[in-house]
A and B are shown apart, each in its own frame.
Chain A
């Protein structure tokens, strides 16, 4: 093993594994990634949060050393992906947005051939398959052709497949999109376990709760740019308030009443279907609304979330 490799494997948590400066990706005239800086550190779970088209997947493909950057600098595990693609990819586990399993062969064979692509020995892969089938809860499906699996099972298999080579960095592009709530929670649990094993996680998502659950640190992206960078809790603290009151007066009246409500809270957002009122005490704000003689059709007090952060930063809601 080269000196560099053992340096990385023995480096303490917190050592930068990925460093990007002024990273740009253009497709023709369109700038998908418009000069972003970030650093991903060993052992952390790092998130890219943003709506569709924010540039998350383009950034992920550059990190995955499959797509060439159009400008700026990036090193992954100390190497330039344009020059050392295979060497970098050897240490990445990639879970793409859409499953690209081989549906004509069995669950077990998918894991097997993927291990072979990493040049792993047959005995090692065979042992590993047992572990991965258990991890993905697919032991009973091992001899089933992939085309017969449910969406959730395919997703779990894609994630299990990405782990066959015990990657240093696991990259997940929208890992739970299209999964039912139960399947999502199973997946989150699995990802937690990997993090405990010291795997660095890179996650893109447009789900707030997912980012809050999984990420130690995240960047909020919109239109190819970074809008903010911090931990989910910090982002909420900086860009939002502790609580949010959601009130509905019916779509015609929301806009008309907004002016009267502005003075009752720290900040207000008027959405087509509801009004969001930000403050430290949601119930208190609701009381003031009633005192004004206003009676919303529905009201809801909740904790502030990353959704609110995103709304504050971009003026738009996240899921289109």
Chain B
């Protein structure tokens, strides 16, 4: 650093925002500064995040995958469900669950904080950042966490021998897409509701739990009576699980369905973000 420059700044020489702030650059890259701030914040909770990414799904992996899996495989032989061991059958579902959980946590809690608890979004909005950039920045940070969680869990599944197809790595982007779709939807939802207690209880009990149980996670969706199957059809978890199975073992899936599954997750992503943008603009303009 140039000596004169340092001395100048020590004397508190004022440059002024008119010279300092480059509005064009902010309009292009502003969202990334929000992502940077969110990642700094996440870093403080690294162990919590790592624990949630690994320990929680690990519990399912051991208890259901290996415990119940032993029963299933005993009854159905090594052909298990759909011609593969039970662990292989549920692995893609668990991977997508991890993605969805990570994305959801990282959009919901910062947003409750941002709009209500500490009102940090209002602090961001009093800078040149637009509501849309704030929403985008938070969403991107959630994707970073999703990528981290999914990658860790994928290796864990690999170590447990749940993945043996050469295309098994493709389950990673599929799970991330599921996390992105669901995360975008939740970002729209959390920025829409004003009552966070309602949000947390309703979402957890009436959306997350049923979605986890009825998305063909632990058994093929076709086992369910027809009237329960729509829960799976609208669930990003089911779409990601179907694609994941298709990619990690010889699960048969008609080509149009492959496109439909991807399209549904993209639609959630785009629709959820558009809804979130609208809500962020409305709430921050108060």
In the assembled complex, the CB of B80 is this many whole angstroms from the nearest CB of chain A, namely: 45
Q: B122's contact among A100, A127, A165, by CB below 8 Å, is which?
A: A100
Q: A89's contact among B33, B122, B127, by CB below 8 Å, is which?
A: B127
- Chain A 1-31, CB within 8 Å of chain B: the 1/0 string? 1000110110000000000000000000000
Q: How far is the CA of A138 from the CA of B209 in the complex (A)?
A: 46
Contact A86 B14 (CB under 8 A): no
Q: Does B20 contact A (CB under 8 A)?
A: yes
List residues of B (198-242) whose CB comes within 8 Å of A's CBs: none
Q: B20's contact among A6, A105, A166, by CB below 8 Å, is which?
A: A166
* Known pairs A1-B18, A91-B21, A197-B14; A119 contacts B128 (CB<8 A): yes
- Contacts between the two chains (Cβ within 8 Å), count: 124
List of B residues within 8 angstroms of A104 by Cβ: 41, 44-45
List of B residues within 8 angstroms of A98 by Cβ: 119
Contact A120 B20 (CB under 8 A): yes
Q: Does B34 contact A (CB under 8 A)?
A: yes
Contact A5 B122 (CB under 8 A): no
Q: B284's contact among A66, A105, A127, by CB below 8 Å, is which?
A: A66
Q: Does A87 contact B (CB under 8 A)?
A: yes
Contact A105 B285 (CB under 8 A): no
Q: B124's contact among A9, A90, A117, by CB below 8 Å, is which?
A: A117
Contact B285 A102 (CB under 8 A): no
Q: How far is the CA of A8 from the CA of B16 in the complex (A)?
A: 11
List residues of A (114-133) whose CB comes within 8 Å of B's CBs: 114, 116-120, 123-124, 127-128, 131
List of A residues within 8 angstroms of B33 by Cβ: 113, 116-117, 119
Q: Tell me if B's interface is mostly helix, strand, loop or mixed.
A: helix
List of A residues within 8 angstroms of B19 by Cβ: 1, 9
Residue of A nearest to B284 (CB): A66
* Known pairs A67-B285, A119-B33; A101 contacts B23 (CB<8 A): no
Contact B30 A117 (CB under 8 A): yes
Interface residues on B, range: 35 or more
List of B residues within 8 angstroms of A87 by Cβ: 23, 128
In the assembled complex, the CB of A251 is this many whole angstroms from the nearest CB of chain B, namely: 42
Q: B37's contact among A8, A102, A119, by CB below 8 Å, is which?
A: A102
Q: How far is the CA of A113 from the CA of B226 in the complex (A)?
A: 51
List of A residues within 8 angstroms of B4 by Cβ: none
In the assembled complex, the CB of B195 is this many whole angstroms from the nearest CB of chain A, namely: 20
Q: How far is the CA of A159 from the CA of B210 in the complex (A)?
A: 47
List of A residues within 8 angstroms of B26 by Cβ: 86, 90, 118-119
* Known pairs A105-B40, A118-B26; A90 contacts B17 (CB<8 A): yes
Q: Does B22 contact A (CB under 8 A)?
A: yes
Q: How far is the CA of A80 from the CA of B30 in the complex (A)?
A: 21
List of A residues within 8 angstroms of B30 by Cβ: 117, 119
Q: How far is the CA of A117 from the CA of B128 in the complex (A)?
A: 7
* Known pairs A116-B36, A119-B33, A127-B9; A86 contacts B130 (CB<8 A): yes
List residues of A (69-114) whose CB comes within 8 Å of B's CBs: 85-87, 89-92, 94, 96, 98, 100-105, 109, 113-114
Contact A90 B118 (CB under 8 A): no
* Known pairs A66-B126, A103-B118; A118 contacts B21 (CB<8 A): yes
Most A Cβ at <10 Å: residue of B34, B37, B130: B37
List residues of B (130-148) whose CB comes within 8 Å of A's CBs: 130
Contact B18 A168 (CB under 8 A): yes
Contact B285 A96 (CB under 8 A): no
Q: Which 3 A-B pairs have the closest CB atoms?
A: A117-B127, A94-B126, A113-B37
Further contacts, 10 of them, CB under 8 A, given A105-B40, A198-B14: A6-B18, A9-B18, A86-B27, A89-B128, A90-B23, A96-B122, A104-B44, A117-B33, A117-B128, A197-B12
Which residues of A are in contact with B by a Cβ distance under 8 Å? 1, 5-6, 8-9, 61, 64, 66-68, 85-87, 89-92, 94, 96, 98, 100-105, 109, 113-114, 116-120, 123-124, 127-128, 131, 165-168, 197-198
